[in-house]
Amino acid sequence: MQKMKKLLHLILFTLTFFLSHAQSTYWQQQVNYYIHVTLNDTDNSLTAFEKMEYVNNSPDTLFYIWIHLWPNAYKNDRTAFSEQLLKNGSTDFYFSKEQERGYINQLNFQVDSVAAVLEIDSSAIDVARLILPRPLPPHSSIRITTPFHEKLPYNFSRGGRVGQTYQLTQWFPKPAVYDRKGWHRMPYLDQGEFYSEFGNWEVSITLPDNYVVAASGDLQDTSELQHLKDIGKQKPSSQKNYRLFQQLLSGVEKKERPAPEMLMPVSSKNLKTLTYILNNAHDFVWFASKLFLVHFDTLQINDRPIDVFSYYNPWDEEYWRNSVEYMKDAVRFYSKKIGEYPYNTVSAVAGNAAVNSGGMEYATITLITMTGSQQDLDATLAHEIGHNWFYGILGTNERDHAWMDEGINEFYQQQYEDDK
């Protein structure tokens, strides 16, 4: 018995030593973003300026930083994205027209106001190396700035445009993760998640003022936020955009009707700028449509209020009418089982069902591209919201360890469905 106690003490001591050592040597880079972007919906493009504060918490001196330029995945049919689609049996992008493709350009990187050289990776046009004008020592920071212009592609994958509905995902230059294993530079893929550094975000979006925007984080414009909440408490059939869509439908012969995404009202000549703030996250996305319906409610997690929004177009109304209730159930379930949801808002957006990727998670918001039964939507919303924990909060590298995100999240989704 005494030998057993000594063995247990030795095991505990060893575990404590290695855990404390691991905690003392662990480090994680931080990237804080300030982006101002303008949507031009006449030529489906973005014009933006990005400022990043890059904090080197590593023990290493950095001479360059790898940058993801993922919009270039849509530039031609020789990218890793295009090759993966072909391997999976999809030829839509490979045979797409030039005007349906996209890219990012007009980059002009500066580091602490000094021009910096950007070298495109010879094996992947959506990855580049930013050569620093001066070495970045450990526990120091730099300010990286660049303008950029982006031609938005048709939504072949998880982002882009369909008519004048916009899904802005992986849309800006983003540093690759640098950790104890080195640089994790990776091309954009249709199948395979993303791995990014955590940081704080302030993003301002300028666009015609008859667009409804759904985005990551907390909307800072109180009048616009209250407007969305007021709309979100109305029945869908009572909302202005629902009636507007019915008017657009009545003006077109049934046999001549295009896809509903093409029946959009004229854009307002007046512009608005919306600002969002999000802290402790590794991504920021936004979605825009001139016909979004809004559904809003709140829930309490340990006496803390959380805003719950869903955004969907009128043609999805029947499928999405109970979406907020499903979302509230999912946040309660995951908060109880795993840990309290740490953000102030949770949102879901209906995307183009023709893409049919099911769903894709982003920080505080998820894009759902599917139709089916109410039970299917409930399960999909729960799964994608669950990623806020296993992908969003933990920030694992799913390209290397898919089970840590998809596998564990699927386990809890099944519990959620069984409980219901």
Any domain includes 184 = yes
Q: Which of 230, 415, 235 is nearest to 322 (CA)?
A: 235
* pLDDT number for residue 261: 81
DSSP character string of 179-231: ETTEEE-----SSS-----BEEEEEEEEEETT-EEEESSEE--HHHHHHHHHH
Lowest-pLDDT range of 146-155, 256-265, 315-324 = 256-265
- Burial of residue 83, with CB atoms counted within 10 A of its CB: 0-12 exposed, 13-18 middle, 19 or more buried: middle
CB 55 within 8 Å of CB 29: yes
Any domain includes 313 = no
Euclidean distance between CA atoms 114 and 136, whole angstroms: 14
Strand ranges inside 351-404, DSSP E: 358-362, 365-369
- Of the pLDDT bands very low, low, confident and very high (cuts 50, 70, 90), residue 283 is very high
Any domain includes 162 = yes
Domain that holds residue 174: 29-197
Any domain includes 42 = yes
Domain count, the chain: 1
Has residue 10 got a pLDDT over 50? Answer: no
Residue-wise pLDDT tens digits, 266-275: 999 999 999 9
Any domain includes 382 = no
* pLDDT number for residue 76: 96
Contacts of 45 (CB under 8 A, 6+ apart): 39, 149, 150, 151, 152
Euclidean distance between CA atoms 392 and 89, whole angstroms: 30
| Tokens of residue 84, six digits | 């993966």
DSSP character string of 143-178: EEEEEEEEEPPB-SSSSEEETTEEEE-S-S-EEPEE
Euclidean distance between CA atoms 313 and 198, whole angstroms: 32
358 vs 128, higher pLDDT = 128
Has residue 98 got a pLDDT over 60? Answer: yes
Lowest-pLDDT range of 92-96, 188-192, 216-220, 257-261 = 257-261
Residue-wise pLDDT tens digits, 166-220: 999 999 999 999 999 999 999 999 988 899 999 999 999 999 999 999 999 999 9
Has residue 256 got a pLDDT over 80? Answer: no
* pLDDT number for residue 55: 98
- Residues of the chain by 3-state class (helix, strand, coil), percent to 5: 30, 35, 35
- Of the pLDDT bands very low, low, confident and very high (cuts 50, 70, 90), residue 306 is very high
Any domain includes 241 = no
Residue-wise pLDDT tens digits, 361-377: 999 999 998 878 899 99
Euclidean distance between CA atoms 281 and 32, whole angstroms: 10
* pLDDT number for residue 19: 45
Any domain includes 108 = yes
Has residue 302 got a pLDDT over 50? Answer: yes
- Report, as an integer, the average pLDDT of 82-87: 96
- Of the pLDDT bands very low, low, confident and very high (cuts 50, 70, 90), residue 356 is low
* pLDDT number for residue 357: 66
Average per-residue pLDDT for the chain: 92
- Of the pLDDT bands very low, low, confident and very high (cuts 50, 70, 90), residue 21 is very low
Q: What is the CATH number of the domain that holds 98?
A: 2.60.40
* Cα 188 → chain centroid: 13
CB 267 within 8 Å of CB 200: no
Any domain includes 101 = yes
CB 56 within 8 Å of CB 29: yes
Has residue 5 got a pLDDT over 90? Answer: no
Residue-wise pLDDT tens digits, 32-61: 999 999 999 999 999 999 999 999 999 999
